[in-house]
Amino acid sequence: MPGESRRYALLGLGVVAISCAAVLVRLADAPPLAIAAGRLTIASGILLPWALLRHRAEFLSLVATHTGLIALAGLFLAVHFALWVASLSYTTVASSVVLVTANPVFVALASYLAFGERLRRATFLGIGLCIVGAVLIGYGGWRVGPEALKGDVLALLAAMAMAVYLLVGRRLRQTVGLVPYATAVFSVAAVVLVSAAAGSGTTMVGYEANTYVMILLLALVPQLIGHMSLNWALRFLPATMVTVAVLGEPVGATLMAIPVLAETPIPGEIAGGILILSGIAVAFGRGGLKRSDTAPSV
């Protein structure tokens, strides 16, 4: 087992890596579907040889025995990325990333309503704080203009799609290794996004070199380094700790957006963001969950 300092270092690395995603999306001058499809295609293309060479039996068994669940998880992961990348075309980095980070709240609600998992009062209190925070951000977007509000709604829908992906993944990841699972789901998501791009007339070629560099970095840094590090940390650290640590993503993304994109959050975004992040911390902190497995995988 790795030392404690190494575990925390990998968790920190994962949070920093995923924090880069929103800024990289903004720097890529391409339609949202092209960016999302490129990100998942590169990531799955890197993982597939690894899965076939090092985890061939487990990977093929997973695809053969859980085809429906893999397809469902991949579909909702694709929907998540398509909606979230699109949201960044309309609203600020701060609003988009804070709202999409609220996906654990939807996981908790779905677990309570659909699966009967018991939640403590702290969880309901946290959910209430998140709702108030989301309303504040939405109100701020409405005051700025309909485009900003549209982006906020897309980010919130992306969080819901991620919640479904996490619920499906939590069931599969109990018996399946990280690399086979990530490879299968990323590959399905890539196929869905490339098909959606083709069907909508979105081309994957003809952009400037800088855009392809940003898409490559999206695949390598937030997708592979970020998500793989966080899932690796889940093996050695409590899921609640990882879930709360991910709350650093909106903070990191917002701080990066200030010098790189010259985008400073407005007071309403700051207030709403604090409420949402506080709500998630309360809901998933110590004592917020009735069962230890309610906290979702990243």
pLDDT (tens digit per residue) in 81-139: 999 999 999 998 988 988 888 887 787 777 777 767 777 778 778 878 877 887 777 76
* Mean pLDDT of the region 137-165: 83
Indicate the angle between helix axes 56-65 and 67-87, nearest 10 degrees.
Answer: 90
**Residues above pLDDT 90, as percent of the chain:** 47
Q: Could you give the C-alpha distances from 38 to 45, 211, 253, in angstroms and in order?
A: 10, 10, 21
Given a cut of 50, whether residue 297 has pLDDT beyond it is no
Per-domain boundaries in the chain: 17-284
The pLDDT of residue 146 is 80
Q: If you average pLDDT over every residue of the chain, what do you get? A: 85
| β-sheet bridge partners, residue 119 | 289
- How many CB atoms are closer than 10 A to CB 147? 12
The model's confidence at residue 34, banded by pLDDT at 50, 70 and 90, is very high
**Residues above pLDDT 70, as percent of the chain:** 88
Angular region, 92: left φ>0, alpha ψ -120 to 50, beta rest: beta
The pLDDT of residue 178 is 87
The model's confidence at residue 294, banded by pLDDT at 50, 70 and 90, is very low
pTM of this structure:
0.86
Residue 98 has which token pair? Answer: 């804070």
The pLDDT of residue 214 is 98
The pLDDT of residue 124 is 78
The pLDDT of residue 3 is 66
Residue 223 has which token pair? Answer: 């997708």
Q: Could you give the C-alpha distances from 268 to 79, 128, 263, 264, in angstroms and in order?
A: 28, 17, 14, 12
The pLDDT of residue 238 is 66
Q: How far apart are CA 46 and CA 254, in angstroms?
A: 29
The pLDDT tens digits for 207-216 are 999 999 999 9
The pLDDT of residue 241 is 66
The pLDDT of residue 140 is 67
The pLDDT of residue 251 is 85
